[in-house]
Amino acid sequence: MSARIVLQEADIRRALTRIAHEILESNRGAEDLILLGIPTRGVPLAERLAMLITEIAQIAVPVGSLDVTLFRDDLAKHPTRSPHRTHIPAGGIDGKTVVLVDDVLFSGRSIRAALDALQSIGRPAVVRLAILVDRGHRELPIRPDFVGKNIPSSRAERVNVRLREDDGEEYVSIEGGDE
């Protein structure tokens, strides 16, 4: 099965820089902003966005991780999912603007699970969604606020995100489909 690369490392860097600026503009600065990455690859993306926002706004932005495993509606189909660590920055999320960060948005079910997980932790003032790749095919009425790249794909295709932190290389590819 051949894969075609749709984003190179420089493309990912540009997309994240643009998203960081859009988050700051939408929030009117970095005050009361928290970034929560959804494991696995949403966590390093959230950390990178936090670094970019800190560079741009000169204000440190708290970053954490939000495990959604136990809130998913497909645990019966995939019972071998291993939970990841949830880390909420000091001060919690109550009254804050929380930006959920993930690598690929597909059906919307992971984000629904993230909203449920967030609700069990506290009550943010606003929740936003930042996604590196939006591939369409939503099953739930969920729309990202910040998108690195819209990549139309068929349901038969697989979008793969590879990041230096987890994979030692960096690109986004699509594989499968009409083969």
For position 32, which CATH number holds? Answer: 3.40.50.2020
User: Is residue 136 included in any domain, yes or no?
Assistant: yes
User: Is residue 129 included in any domain, yes or no?
Assistant: yes
Return the pLDDT at 71: 86
- The total number of structural domains in the chain stands at 1
For each of the chain's 179 residues, which pLDDT tens digit applies?
689 999 999 999 999 999 999 999 999 999 999 999 999 999 999 999 999 999 999 999 999 999 998 887 766 666 556 677 899 999 999 999 999 999 999 999 999 999 999 999 999 999 999 999 999 999 999 999 999 999 989 999 999 999 999 999 999 999 987 64
Return the pLDDT at 179: 46
User: Is residue 101 included in any domain, yes or no?
Assistant: yes
Question: Which among 118, 35, 34, 31 has a CA at the least distance from the CA of 71?
Answer: 118
| Residue 149 structural domain | 9-155
Return the pLDDT at 74: 67
User: Is residue 166 included in any domain, yes or no?
Assistant: no
Four-CA torsion 145, 150, 151, 155, nearest 10 degrees = 40
User: Is residue 172 included in any domain, yes or no?
Assistant: no
User: Is residue 4 included in any domain, yes or no?
Assistant: no
User: Is residue 170 included in any domain, yes or no?
Assistant: no
User: Is residue 178 included in any domain, yes or no?
Assistant: no
